[in-house]
Amino acid sequence: MTKFRPAVVITRRLPEVIEERMAELFDVTIPLNDKAMSDDQLAAAMNACDVLLPTVTDRIDADLIARAGPRLKLIANFGNGVDNIDVAAARKRGITVTNTPGVLTEDMADFTMALIVAVARRFSEGARIIPGGGWSGWSPTWMLGRRVTGKRIGIVGMGRIGQAVARRARAFGLQVHYHNRRPVSARTEEELQATYWESLDRMLARMDIITIHCPHTPATFHLLSARRLQLLKADAILVNTARGEIVDTDELTNLLEAGHLAGAGLDVYEHEPAISDRLLKLADEGRVLLLPHMGSSTVESRIEMGEKVIINIKTFIDGHTPPDRVLPQL
């Protein structure tokens, strides 16, 4: 008996080893280029496959799901977050959604600590000086940054990545504080020597470094609102490697322009890939470090993400619940 090979449409190019493995297992359609699909292209794909394999750049909203054909039974997201997918609308249509959690933890934590140090020590500015011919030699008062060791770091969101950041922060001599929907276990708090703040407002007002590691949901949209950003100390720095929508970017820009924050490091943006001219100007002036959503960009993480997608698809096709099924948030 011939084994069923599901039709799988991949929306973006994946590591070659993953594409080859999928081609062995499934009836795969791989895009010719690595450009995001339009809504019409996504709708056409969702009418021609059993499994759609989108990425974070594909917005699979309720309207698009309503245009899906009856064949589509699984959306196997290539990514940890699923804020790009209307999971509730998918479930109503009988479409299962999966993601790839736990793969990015260590890479994201490494990246976050690197970004914190880079902002505090003004690496971005320094890296431009020598190629630009602006270095005339060492000076005791030139290019002064801020020490990281001994400072207070406030972690917003204490899941896998937040905890991995906390471990690294301890190694850098930082005092670890965190805000979460609920405290982590007493054992984890003791291991991380972390202090829980029930009030996000109070924590923000007392930290030297704020780093964001919560998912983007309706409840966390502009969690760091204009009011909350104004609570930050004037010599604080803010780092966001989670989702751009969590921070009120306009107010963050206002504070940076006014000199009411020491600096910021951003890897994610509210309207990616668009970035405001004001924010770009601040980057030119060295008051904010902007990176192109590359926090999880390692060869290892992309391959592991692909392997998780394959497992989710195979498990689903075999009639079992995928290990990384995502359910709508209540």
Please write the tens of the pLDDT for every residue from 22-43. 999 999 999 988 999 999 999 9
Contact 213, 162 (CB under 8 A): yes
User: Residue 83 and residue 145: Cα distance in Å, rounded?
Assistant: 36
* Domain tally, the chain: 2
Return the pLDDT at 196: 98
Of the candidates 105, 109, 240, 241, the one whose C-alpha atom is nearest the C-alpha of residue 168 is 109
Residues 6+ away with beta carbon under 8 Å from 307? 18
Whether residues 124 and 69 share a domain: the answer is no
The mean pLDDT of the chain is: 95
Residue 288 makes CB contacts below 8 A (sequence gap 6+) with 256, 263, 264, 265, 266, 279, 282
What is the C-alpha to C-alpha distance for residues 257 and 268, in angstroms, rounded to an integer? Answer: 19
List, for residues 45-79, the tens digit of each pLDDT value.
999 999 999 998 899 999 999 999 999 999 999 99
Same domain, residue pair 109 and 235: yes
- pLDDT score of 54: 97
Please indicate, yes or no, whether residues 46 and 135 belong to a single structural domain of this protein: no
The 10s digit of each residue's pLDDT in 234-243 is 999 999 999 9
The tokens describing 46, both together, are 């969702």
Query: What is residue 3's predicted lDDT score, i.e. its pLDDT?
Result: 74
Q: Are residues 82 and 165 both part of a single domain?
A: no
Task: Tell which residue, 83, 43, 90, 42, has the closest CA to residue 67.
Answer: 43
> What's the pLDDT tens digit per position in 287-324?
999 999 999 999 999 999 999 999 999 999 999 999 99
In this prediction, residue 81 has a pLDDT band, given cuts at 50, 70 and 90, of confident
Residue-wise pLDDT for 103-126, tens only, equals 999 999 999 999 999 999 999 999
**Residue that the structure tokens 């999971």 belong to:** 87
pLDDT band, residue 1 (cuts 50/70/90): very low
304 shares a domain with 285:
no
Same domain, 147 and 56: no
The answer on 183 and 113 residing in a single domain is yes
Query: Quick one: tokens of 246?
Result: 């969590």
With a CB cutoff of 8 Å and minimum separation 6, the contacts of 187 are: none
Q: Quote the DSSP letter at residue 16.
A: H
Instruction: Work out the angle between the directed axes of helices 249-257 and 277-284 (0-180°, nearest 10).
Output: 40
**One domain, residues 171 and 279:** yes
Active site residues: 243, 272, 293
Domain residues for 53? 7-103+299-326
Res 330: pLDDT: 60
Do 265 and 317 sit in the same domain of this protein?
no
Tokens 């937040």 locate to 162
**163 and 277 together in one domain:** yes
Q: How far is CA 64 from the centre of its chain?
A: 23
pLDDT value at position 58?
A: 95
Q: What is the CATH number of the domain that holds 184?
A: 3.40.50.720
Q: Check residue 274 and report its DSSP letter.
A: B
**Rounded to whole angstroms, how far apart are CA atoms 43 and 162?**
36
